[in-house]
Amino acid sequence: MSSTAGESIPVGTGHIACDLHSSTVVFSKLSSSYPLKLLSPRVAEHGVAIVYVMSYGGGLVGGDCMQLIVEVGKECKLLLLSQGSTKVFKTRAGNRASTRFRRSSPQPTPSSLQDVTIQSMEVTIAPDSALFLLPDPVTCFRSASYTQMQTFHLAGSASIVLLDWVTSGRRSMGEDWDFLRYYSVNEVFVEGRRVARDVLLLDNPSLDTQIASESSSSNTTSRSPLRTLKDRLAPYSCYAMLLLYGPQTHGVVTDLQTKYRTISIFKRTAPERFLWSLTSVDDGKGTVIRAAGVDTEDVKNWFREALRGLEVVVGIDEYRKVFL
């Protein structure tokens, strides 16, 4: 099954709706418009479907706005994946003349809404169904500005595995947390009740806050320099947040809790290459994992192993398509 580029839907929007018809997942909707692209490969496993969420050209530029609506029908298991990391290109100014003008101007330019790349996703998950949102990480290039808003509405017996991760940029180009701004909101509701709202803001101090701090009243000799993103996040180049909720995550969660409990930290002189943490939310009904790694591969490899218990939920062949 492939995507249909609908004539009537607005730019950059997509709609996925699926239902179970005698152990086969059928898409009643699978439509998208440029630059968003949805692809669904054939899947052998009963009750399981995979959709790749992609963009034409393999990246997003400043001003791009993508909106995706997802409805996971009763007893379906839907995997939402990507092919390669979501690349967010540098913010572009409106036109060349003003760019040239701006460069010579000493005034800092406020980043307008137009320059921001926005991705939003609204998901509803029906009873006994599950969503596995396991994309590759977002990679923001130098000076890029990215906003991601994801909202998930679960029925009481629904499940979710949601991974949201970001890298420090193109290391081959010398980028190391050099983007302007990354803002990501993940909000999970269960039967209308908010159970978790994860908001991550990674922003480099802008030119105007630097100026403001330089002109502040206190004496200049003792003041600490502003901390850049790189200062704050070193030595790691990849940060991840994984949220698990619902009955179909129990196996994986139990394994992770057991693993976490065995950790005992003795005083170290230097940080480890990889770190992870586990915490319960909503009175133990949900779990949030955070991880950081010196290399993105370290983080990916850890998650592939940590979530291997999902093989029995989504199928071995299907799980193989995740964390490639």
Binding interface with other proteins (CB under 8 A) = 118, 120, 147, 149, 183, 185, 187, 194-203, 209, 212-213, 216, 218-219, 222-224, 227, 231-236, 239, 241, 260, 263-272, 275-282, 288, 290-292
| Least Cβ distance, residue 178 to other proteins (angstroms) | 17
| Least Cβ distance, residue 20 to other proteins (angstroms) | 31
Nearer to other proteins, 255 or 282 (CB): 282
Burial class, 183, CB count within 10 angstroms (exposed 0-12 / middle 13-18 / buried 19+)? middle
Nearer to other proteins, 21 or 223 (CB): 223
| Least Cβ distance, residue 283 to other proteins (angstroms) | 10
Nearer to other proteins, 198 or 295 (CB): 198
**The two three-digit tokens of residue 294, written as one number:** 């010196």
Nearer to other proteins, 209 or 254 (CB): 209
CA distance 300 to 28: 33
- Torsion angle in degrees (nearest 10) through CA of 17, 50, 88, 63: -20
| Least Cβ distance, residue 118 to other proteins (angstroms) | 8
Identify whether the C-beta of residue 208 lies closer than 8 Å to the C-beta of residue 187: no
Nearer to other proteins, 48 or 70 (CB): 70
| Least Cβ distance, residue 144 to other proteins (angstroms) | 16
Nearer to other proteins, 23 or 216 (CB): 216
Q: Residue 225: what residue type? A: P
Question: In which residue are the tokens 């290109």 written?
Answer: 89
| Least Cβ distance, residue 63 to other proteins (angstroms) | 15
**The two three-digit tokens of residue 291, written as one number:** 């991880």
- The one-character DSSP state at 191 is T
Nearer to other proteins, 205 or 309 (CB): 205
The angle, 0 to 180 degrees and rounded to 10, between the axes of the packed helices 296-306 and 250-261 is 120
| Least Cβ distance, residue 188 to other proteins (angstroms) | 9
Looking from the CA of 206 toward its CB, the CA atoms found within 13 Å total: 13
Nearer to other proteins, 199 or 207 (CB): 199
Strand 117-125, strand 65-72: pairing: parallel
Phi, psi of 147 (to 5 degrees): -125, 130
**The two three-digit tokens of residue 196, written as one number:** 């978790």
| Least Cβ distance, residue 260 to other proteins (angstroms) | 8
Which of helix, strand or coil describes residue 182? Answer: strand
CA distance 132 to 154: 13
DSSP for 6-26, written as a single string: -SSSPTTEEEEEEEEETTEEE
